[in-house]
Amino acid sequence: MGAVGIALLVLFIISAVLLIIIVMLQDEQGEGLGGIFGGGSSSAFGSRSGNVLTKFTSVLGIIFILSAFSFAWYNRSVDNSDVLKAAKEKMSEQDASNWWEVPEE
Q: Is 88 within a domain?
A: no
pTM: 0.57
Model pLDDT for residues 2-55, shown as the tens digit of each residue: 888 899 999 999 999 999 998 888 877 655 555 555 555 555 555 555 678 888
Q: Is 94 within a domain?
A: no
Angle of helix 3-25 relative to helix 52-74, nearest 10 degrees? 150
The domain in which residue 40 lies consists of 3-80
Question: Does the structure show a pLDDT above 80 at 72?
Answer: yes
Q: Is 45 within a domain?
A: yes
Q: Is 24 within a domain?
A: yes
Give the whole-angstrom CA distance, residue 12 versus residue 61. Answer: 11
Task: Count structural domains, the chain.
Answer: 1
* Secondary structure (DSSP) of 30-49: S-THHHHHH-SSSSTT----
Q: Is 105 within a domain?
A: no
**CB-CB contact of 15 with 64 (8 Å):** yes
Place 68 in a pLDDT band, splitting at 50, 70 and 90: very high
Place 81 in a pLDDT band, splitting at 50, 70 and 90: low
